[in-house]
A and B are shown apart, each in its own frame.
Chain A
Amino acid sequence: QITLKESGPTLVKPTQTLTLTCTFSGFSLRTYGVGVGWIRQPPGKALEWLTLIYWDNDKRYSPSLKSRLTITKDTSKNQVVLTMTSMDPVDTATYYCAHYYWTSGHYFDYWGQGILVTVSS
């Protein structure tokens, strides 16, 4: 059974750096064909893909946010960490991590519950 859960601060100040952790179980990021991604959703708005990390540590970033994002993994802890710099109120959103299956389909099949991050002074 695959599960994922996001953790981190729910309130950050403008200009600060956000660090979120995705702790997962039921799969290993050492396994070929596996990835973990981050997706966000501002209140009342659409999903937006942020970043992906693959089993072999290859990383992909949204072109529009690439300069602000870093994704890393700790396979021994079954964790993926998202870092986003220079937070702004427009970054207020629910942040999801999700299991990404890419060997044939390229889709997110398991999602965490999400964490609402508010950016406010």
Chain B
Amino acid sequence: QSALTQPASVSGSPGQSITISCTGTSSDVGHFNLVSWYQQHPGKVPKLMISEVNKRPSGVSNRFSGSKSGNTASLTISGLQAEDEADYYCSSYASSSTPVVFGGGTKLTVL
């Protein structure tokens, strides 16, 4: 399984909304509603932000939302805040034999 494709970087100003895309194939992202998103601040441990395309774990701000269309999943962050500046990774279930595939990561810069 190849890694999922994410833009290397995105940026936005405080208060704005941004969207990070995650493109897979009809065998992974397009086939299962099992996309998750992780936030990683520099030097820190990844944190689960979204599971099953659009479910927020307890404690995650409702400014974070997920969606999917075809083979592409998206993470939207509304009302950007300085603390949102981090790397974001998508992941998808791909198959019983390869249950996990990650994207290449996207660096979010808050201008």
Give per-residue flags for B65-104: 1 if the beta carbon is below 8 A from chain A beta carbons, else 0.
0000000000000000000000001010100111111111
Residue B24 CB within 8 A of the other chain: no
Question: Would you call A24 an interface residue if the criterion is a C-beta within 8 Å of the partner chain's C-beta atoms?
Answer: no
Does A56 interact with chain B (Cβ within 8 Å)? no
Identity of the chain B residue whose Cβ is nearest the Cβ of A104 in the assembled complex: B52
Which residues from chain A contact B96 at a C-beta distance below 8 Å? 60
Give the residue of B40, B46, B51 whose beta carbon is less than 8 angstroms from that of A105: B51
Given contacts A105-B52, A107-B51, A107-B91, contact A49 B101 (CB under 8 A): yes
- Chain B positions within 8 Å of A, measured between CB atoms, are 1, 3, 32, 34, 36, 38, 40, 45-48, 51-52, 55, 57, 89, 91, 93, 96-105
Interface residues of chain A, those whose CB is within 8 Å of chain B, are: 37, 39, 46-49, 52, 60, 62-63, 96, 102, 104-109, 111-114
